[in-house]
Structure 1
Amino acid sequence: MSIDIEKYLQDIDPNNVCGDDLEYDPAFIALEQDIIGKPEQQIGDTIQEAEPPDWREIKKSAEALLARTRDLRILVYYLRALVALEGLTGLSEGLKLIDTLLAKRWEVLYPRLDPDDDNDPTERVNILMALCDHETMLRPLQLVDLVESKALGRFCFRDVMIASEKMTVSEGENAPKLGTIEAAVQDSDIVALQSNLASIVASTDSLNSLEDFVTKHVGINNAPNFDALRHLLKEFVHLLSGWLESRGVDDIEASPSEIESTSEITSKPQASQKSISGAINNSQDVINALKLICDYYKKNEPSSPVPLLLERAQRLVGKSFMDALMDIAPDGVSQASIIMGAKSEDE
């Protein structure tokens, strides 16, 4: 499946590009109810088990609403349905849609910014933070298939964590064996592993792009923090890269067109850049060096906070002082402008 993102970038109406606000529309209200699913109920002595959302219906309802409006809430519901139905591919395409549409329609997307409240972005930021909600996003992603063997079955990130004794198994749940998962990796389709890795890289690219865009518009103090989702995606990359290496495949060289990322933060270096040698002669060398350091920590010390700091440093490469200050501490820009202006007049 592939989302026609261009379709959602088109004006719904020339005079009302994002359509109407459907917050109180019966179809929107029904979607918000349906995505909750049905909780466990007790009727007399009978207990009716909880039922998960019908994700195919959720997807269908979200698409119908997006034909009438451009609403960030519906986009997030749509993303959740795509993850449930399409796994990593759905995550990649859903995040790209949110990133692209938000960048193009920031001023007019629903829910609207309130000009009477200094365009307070809190509602939008809270909606975006659902991307890091454990129950509705992170846990479902932990259950997405990462590897499939026709002989041994499918395994997800949670299976690996349980087999590695990094997670405890739920009551009544069978604990997978690490050896079984490793055997499944050896029996799996290499192209499928590469495709999964490519989807994760693309998802991280969109997530970083989305975070950067929103931060520039609302300031770093009000911006969403996607570290929880980003960390999980890094764990996925580390795991899949290791699996590909165990199959004798260099995931960087094997399929560069599939895993290439446009983001300097997430893109993998070319084979000739795997080690640092000689002098650093330009800003691209700096970016490559920082990337290699991040890769080291990701593979050898995945819990270290160092990559988070270095990734921010990568984004600052090539920026002017004022641009860097805007990224790090936007509240200090006005004071810096006054100081720099006063210095200029004295000179």
Structure 2
Amino acid sequence: MGELEEFLAPVDHSNPSGVELRNDARFHALERSLEPAARSARVVGDSATPRTPPIDWDGLLKDAAEMARSGRDLRLLAMVTRMATHQRGLEGLGDALSMLTATVEQCWDHLHPALRDAPSRREAALRRINALYQLENTDNGLMTDLALNTVFTLRGIGAVTGSDLAAVAINRATVISEAADGLGEKEKAALAAAHEAQVARTSTALKALATERPEELAALAAAAGRARAALSALEAALDARVAENGVGVRFAALGTLIGRIAQSLAGAEAAPADTAAPQADGAPAPVMPAPEGGAAIPGQITSRREVERCLDLIIDFYERTEPSSPLPHLARRMRKMVPMTFMQLMEEIAPSGMKEFRAVAGVIDEKSK
């Protein structure tokens, strides 16, 4: 965790988390300092290359550490996570998520924002949960940082971003299913063509990185894997303190992005070993065709992301071979349900029976409050 360990130090032995920082002028100054990192400031016009935000990340992290000596506040630590990611990339992200997990595990009883009196643990911790959900802010949050930041650069190819790497892990069907509703066929075709070009460029860059700088690729793949594990650990730590009736805390969008980046890097790291060995007679090894989308079907499904991947392949197959089949529509609905909690699934599958179910199970309907 390195330099981020200082954010776990006791603030005051009589008051281990100090004061709440939300109304501290220094906190608002930090928020303003992050404005140039917003998507709206970094992506201008039709430029394919995001601007690098003109921010002194080392200086901001020092300012945040100084402020943390006054109070332990999740809203500040969410900003620290972004600073560490800008400062040290995927490695910094993993360290920052581990710091958040340790904070939740060690300081939950006296952390800011304070718990409120409420009928459920989740409601009591709602301000804390919302503070962490800022990481998924798609304009000026960690999601934007990961998508737009450069992960590595190669001469002749240029910068490769997190968004580029994530694109390699998905196929055409996923791109279309995740696009805005209401797109026409021409718009879908243009979107698919742009995705194919992005994948081709990024795949070339990954192969070159594996050949020219394999140690760097291995380090990036390991860092992405640690970041994915650290996010899962944070979710587990929060679930232990707020989950009720099968409803926990999930950073679904952030987890998907990190997972796709990790998948692409791990696949590129493994590819040279799979294809470099010559045949026994000295002839080059045959090149095995990869399935569309760039990832093999797993022999055994071990995660929800692999479930989503398999459903994407099913959708893609039927759209290419049997466009009139109703099966891809059913598969899309199933894919949408993969990250849902138990209660969300019940709402999706049997909404008319939810009132009776809540009455029997004693579950509070948040919408009726």
The TM-score, its normalising length taken from structure 1, stands at 0.63
Contact 1:132 1:228 in 2 (8 A): yes
Structure 1 residue 152, shift from structure 2 partner: 4.4
Q: In the alignment, residue 19 of structure 2 is paired with which amino acid?
A: D
Q: For residue 209 of structure 2, what is the aligned residue in structure 1? A: 185
Q: Distance in 2 between matches of 1:186 and 1:133?
A: 32
The secondary structure found in structure 2 opposite 1:24 is coil
1:5-24 equivalences in 2 (<5 Å): 5-24=4-23
Q: Does 1:35 align with 2:40?
A: no
The secondary structure found in structure 1 opposite 2:2 is coil
Q: Distance in 2 between matches of 1:9 and 1:182?
A: 37
Q: In the alignment, residue 93 of structure 2 is paired with which amino acid?
A: L
Q: Distance in 2 between matches of 1:330 and 1:204?
A: 34
Q: For residue 235 of structure 1, what is the aligned residue in structure 2? A: 260
Q: For residue 130 of structure 2, what is the aligned residue in structure 1? A: 126
Q: In structure 2, do the counterparts of structure 1 residues 244 and 297 end up closer, same or farther at CA, with 3 Å as the change threshold?
A: farther
Structure 1 residue 16, shift from structure 2 partner: 0.8
What CA deviation, in whole Å up to 9, does each residue of 1:23-82 have, x standing for no partner? 2222122222222249999xxxxxxx9976543333222111112211100100001111
Q: Does 1:74 align with 2:76?
A: yes
Q: In the alignment, residue 243 of structure 2 is paired with which amino acid?
A: G
Q: In the alignment, residue 20 of structure 1 is paired with which amino acid?
A: V
Q: Once structures 1 and 2 are overlaid, which stretch shifts more, 60-69 or 75-84?
A: 60-69
1:131-280 equivalences in 2 (<5 Å): 131-135=135-139, 136-149=141-154, 152-160=157-165, 178=201, 180-220=204-244, 223-248=248-273
Contact 2:11 2:70 in 1 (8 A): yes
Q: Distance in 2 between matches of 1:209 and 1:330?
A: 30
How many percent of aligned residue pairs carry the same amino acid? 20
Structure 1 residue 93, shift from structure 2 partner: 0.6
Contact 2:20 2:71 in 1 (8 A): yes
Q: Once structures 1 and 2 are overlaid, which stretch shifts more, 140-149 or 231-240?
A: 140-149
What CA deviation, in whole Å up to 9, does each residue of 1:201-223 have, x standing for no partner? 22222211221222232224764
What CA deviation, in whole Å up to 9, does each residue of 1:265-302 have, x standing for no partner? xxxxxxxxxx98xxxxxxxxxxxx653x7686577556
Q: For residue 268 of structure 1, what is the aligned residue in structure 2? A: none
Contact 2:252 2:339 in 1 (8 A): no
Contact 1:145 1:155 in 2 (8 A): yes
Q: Distance in 1 between matches of 2:360 and 2:100?
A: 30
Q: Distance in 2 between matches of 1:239 and 1:146?
A: 12
What CA deviation, in whole Å up to 9, does each residue of 1:310-334 have, x standing for no partner? 9999xxxxxxxxxxxxxxx999888
Q: In the alignment, residue 199 of structure 1 is paired with which amino acid?
A: A
Q: Distance in 2 between matches of 1:333 and 1:186?
A: 54
Q: In the alignment, residue 24 of structure 1 is paired with which amino acid?
A: N
Aligned-pair Cα RMSD in Å: 4.4
The secondary structure found in structure 1 opposite 2:67 is helix
Q: Distance in 1 between matches of 2:68 and 2:359?
A: 36
What CA deviation, in whole Å up to 9, does each residue of 1:113-145 have, x standing for no partner? 123787622111111112222222223212334
Q: Distance in 2 between matches of 1:59 and 1:229?
A: 22
Q: For residue 349 of structure 2, what is the aligned residue in structure 1? A: none
Structure 2 spans left out of the alignment, 5+ residues: 42-50, 176-189, 276-297, 314-330, 343-356, 364-369
Q: For residue 45 of structure 1, what is the aligned residue in structure 2? A: none
The secondary structure found in structure 2 opposite 1:155 is strand
Contact 2:33 2:55 in 1 (8 A): yes
Q: Distance in 2 between matches of 1:63 and 1:202?
A: 24
Q: In the alignment, residue 109 of structure 1 is paired with which amino acid?
A: L
What CA deviation, in whole Å up to 9, does each residue of 1:74-126 have, x standing for no partner? 10000111112211011101100001111111110111112378762211111
Contact 2:304 2:338 in 1 (8 A): no
Q: In structure 2, do the counterparts of structure 1 residues 227 and 206 end up closer, same or farther at CA, with 3 Å as the change threshold?
A: same
Q: In the alignment, residue 26 of structure 2 is paired with which amino acid?
A: A
Q: Distance in 2 between matches of 1:203 and 1:156?
A: 16
Structure 1 residue 181, shift from structure 2 partner: 1.9
Contact 2:166 2:261 in 1 (8 A): no
The secondary structure found in structure 1 opposite 2:62 is helix
Contact 1:200 1:233 in 2 (8 A): yes
Structure 1 spans left out of the alignment, 5+ residues: 42-48, 251-274, 277-288, 314-328, 336-347
